[in-house]
Amino acid sequence: GAGVSQSPSNKVTEKGKDVELRCDPISGHTALYWYRQSLGQGLEFLIYFQGNSAPDKSGLPSDRFSAERTGGSVSTLTIQRTQQEDSAVYLCASSRGSPTQYFGPGTRLLVL
């Protein structure tokens, strides 16, 4: 079956621009997570959606970061007014309500 997919695979943007990153979870998975992987900070949790519950946004680094999940499926992570320190790989994962998470290939973001 299809795994977690993310788009775009690579994104280059200029400082100050907004970017949107998309995640398609595995069909039937109720939980969706976003993580960031960067050289300086390693792998960090950003945000977590579980069903219709309010998302856990405790990992978002600033108010420039936001995410939504429409229809309990696809999720979009938006970064406004990008900064160079936002350059990283953004990973999405999904799970069927268990602790076991399955990851997508990631979006590599480069802010010039």
Partner 1 sequence: AQSVTQLGSHVSVSEGALVLLRCNYSSSVPPYLFWYVQYPNQGLQLLLKYTTGATLVKGINGFEAEFKKSETSFHLTKPSAHMSDAAEYFCAAAGPVGNEKLTFGTGTRLTIIP
Q: Which residues bind partner 1 (CB under 8 A)?
A: 4, 31, 33, 35, 42-45, 48, 56, 59, 91, 93, 95, 98-106, 108
Q: 4 or 19: whose CB is closer to partner 1?
A: 4
- Can you tell me the distance from the alpha carbon of 68 to that of 52, in angstroms, rounded to the nearest whole number? 12
Shortest Å, Cβ 81 to partner 1: 26
Q: 45 or 80: whose CB is closer to partner 1?
A: 45
- Can you tell me the distance from the alpha carbon of 103 to that of 13, in angstroms, rounded to the nearest whole number? 24
Q: 2 or 14: whose CB is closer to partner 1?
A: 2
CB atoms under 10 Å from CB of 11, counted, come to: 17
Shortest Å, Cβ 15 to partner 1: 24
Q: Whose CA is closest to 82, among 30, 21, 27? A: 21
> Six-digit token pair at 76?
């979009």
